[in-house]
Amino acid sequence: MNAPRRALVVIDAQQEYFQGPLTVQHPPRDESLARIAGAMDTAADAGLPVITVQHETPEGAPVFAPGSEGWKLHPEIERRASSASKHVIKGYSSVFAAGDLAEWLRANGVDTITLVGYMTNNCVLATAAAAEPLGFAVEVLSDATGAIHLANEAGKVSAQQVHETLMVLLHSNWAAVTDTATWTEAVSATKPLDKSDLGTSAVQGQSAN
């Protein structure tokens, strides 16, 4: 198997996820933030491209309004972002809705994107799914992203249930899911991560339940 040509994509590591209704609940946000920062340091040391992503809504919106405190990158990410290879602003869940990102990745020889940031249940999920028809392999670092509690007319679910369920779902089809320490070892060895598939996951699911 060929060595992956990786880029680290840091999705929406913004203050909005550390305050108010969108505060990340699982994994603990301070822990996931430390893993995101660590992944950025690993990528920089390995010479991997780092793309920082920032979500933005129209002026005056209650969340992610440009220039607002919640819109800003977390200080731990902001101080590393100055050396990032590319910064993009998006208004939709998938990072690929942000201008020329897919073309930029191809032009820079990237075939594998590693996703960290927020949230598991929105932009990470949407980006992983959107990468499939574009031909990019996806890695998701389970301890460097996070989810929120959700409730609506369809029911309610805890952040832990959301996060753990989506990690299994992603690994069954759209992404190789692992933790930051294992990814760091794979980066050092320039090796791909193991990934499951839908058929295998279904067979194992029958045995497990």
Q: Active-site residue numbers?
A: 12, 90, 123
Strand pairing class (150-152; 155-157): antiparallel
Torsions phi, psi of 145, nearest 5? Answer: -145, -175
What's the CA gap between 178 and 200, in Å, rounded?
17
> Which ranges constitute the DSSP H helices of 16-124?
29-46, 75-81, 101-107
> Which ranges constitute the DSSP H helices of the chain?
29-46, 75-81, 101-107, 125-134, 159-171, 180-189, 198-208
Whether cis (ω within 30° of 0) applies to the bond prior to 27 is yes
Report which of 36, 31, 32, 23 is spatially closest to residue 80, judged by C-alpha positions. Answer: 36
Reading the block at residue 153, the tokens are: 């007319």
> Which ranges constitute the DSSP H helices of 47-124?
75-81, 101-107
